[in-house]
Amino acid sequence: MLKILSASAVALCGLLLLGIESQAQTDFKVTLLGTASPSPRPTRFGPSTLVEAGDKKLLIDMGRGVPIRLWQLKVPMGKIDAHFITHYHSDHVSGVPDVWLTGWLSPPFGRRTTPFRVIGPTGAKSLMENLQKAYALDIRIRVADEKLPPAGVAVKAEEFSKDGAVFDEGGVKVTAFEVDHGDAIKPAYGYRVDYKGHSAVISGDTRYNKNVIKYGTGADVLIHEVGSARPELMASSEAVRRIIAHHTTPKECGEVFAQAKPKLAVYTHIVLLSSEKISEPTLEDVVAETRQTYSGPLQLGEDLMAFEIGEVVTVKPFGK
């Protein structure tokens, strides 16, 4: 915990430029629900980001633990308007059945009464069709026993296969853009959310990619994944080299941020690799390497950290 706090303090230095004290009320907020990769960590759950804009609530990816994080915020799963998927690595979708089915239950954390809307690249329909088969017994039992509304467990899956707008309602526009997560890991997309002249961009999982720069240019908040391993571990392990080649190193992220020039750059999906003999890089290491190529505002994400987006961007660690 101390490590995280001190690294955040390092990263926060850039925020002084943002004039964070004069923030007015805004109805555009992005909250990191989970900031880890597949690695099971008690303080960082699986990848997921909540976007609240006007009266819309959107989830981007649903990794491990989403219902827990949402309910820490007192956001009922039944109130989510649309569920977006960046790609089909299990760390990004393992929470889908949990959000779908737990969000249908009758306690206040659930209460969905309209279809579970999923928007993702090609594969979303097949994922949801197969989940419906896998959980058919639960669904049948709860309809018969608990009298839950069948409409709340119904599924509306929408797919896309190229860059473009995938959601445009209530003044909130979501644009999908293809990223590069590796030659065999397709499809893989990021999302840009535009609302009232402001924008939040989420890279999804990607290596250094020009399309992130294209769609991230001028964004209020550019939320980017990052992957790092110590040089001696990279040198000694083919598997580590392969994993890091599927992600963006801190130095490369700095190059993306330096070109896109967001008001605030944020790290999420923090992949830190280690072995039995070689420790993982620290968060301070990640920030220091980023600083080789980028000197602008930067924030290391933490679970439940929120970003209020208006004329300025305000960073709100959970509970503060």
- CA-wise closest residue to 305 among 51, 31, 120, 38: 31
In terms of CB distance, is 222 or 309 closer to Zn ion?
Answer: 222
What is the closest distance, in whole angstroms, from the C-beta atom of residue 170 to Zn ion in the complex? Answer: 29
Q: Distance between CA 82 and CA 304 in Å, rounded?
A: 19
Q: Which region, judged by CB under 5 A, interacts with Zn ion, from 140-148, 200-208, 258-266, 297-305?
A: 200-208
205 touches Zn ion (CB under 5 A): yes
- Encoded one letter per residue, x for contact with Zn ion by CB under 5 A and - for no contact, window 53-92 reads ------------------------------------x-x-
Q: Does 178 bind Zn ion (CB under 5 A)?
A: no
Instruction: Please identify, using beta-carbon distances, which residue of 91 and 194 lies nearer to Zn ion.
Output: 91
**CB of residue 286 vs Zn ion: minimum separation in angstroms?**
16
Tell the smallest beta-carbon distance from residue 225 to Zn ion (Å).
7
Q: Which two tokens stand for residue 21?
A: 């004290």
**Number of shown-chain residues binding Zn ion (CB under 5 A):** 3
- Give the binding range for Zn ion (CB under 5 A) out of 150-158, 197-205, 237-245, 282-290: 197-205
CB of 87 to Zn ion, least distance (A): 6
Closest CA to 46 of 90, 15, 76: 90
Q: Closer to Zn ion at the Cβ: 172 or 244?
A: 244
Among the residue ranges 100-108, 163-171, 204-212, 234-242, the one whose residues contact Zn ion (CB under 5 A): 204-212
Beta carbon nearer to Zn ion, 97 or 296: 97
Quote the CA–CA distance of 166 and 158 in Å, as a whole number.
9
Q: C-alpha distances in angstroms, 215 versus 74, 83, 263?
A: 31, 20, 14
Do 53 and 174 meet the contact criterion of CB atoms below 8 Å apart? no
In angstroms, the CA 147 to CA 21 distance is 49
Considering the complex, state which of residue 53 and residue 59 has its C-beta at the smaller distance from Zn ion. 59
3-state secondary structure of 117: strand
User: In whole angstroms, what is the distance from residue 19 CA to residue 181 CA?
Assistant: 35
Q: How far is the CB of 35 from Zn ion (least distance, A)?
A: 11
User: In the complex, what is the shortest distance from the CB of residue 63 to Zn ion, in angstroms, rounded to a whole number?
Assistant: 8
Q: How far is CA 35 from CA 157, 289, 307, in A?
A: 25, 19, 14
**Residue 302 binds to Zn ion (criterion: CB under 5 A):** no
Q: Answer positive or negative: Cα dihedral of 52, 58, 62, 65.
A: positive
Residue with Cβ nearer Zn ion (126 or 295): 126
Q: At closest approach, how far in Å is the CB of 47 from Zn ion?
A: 6
5, 9, 10, 11: CA torsion to nearest 10: 100
Place of tokens 């999804």: 204
**Which residues of the chain form contacts with Zn ion (CB under 5 A)?**
89, 91, 205
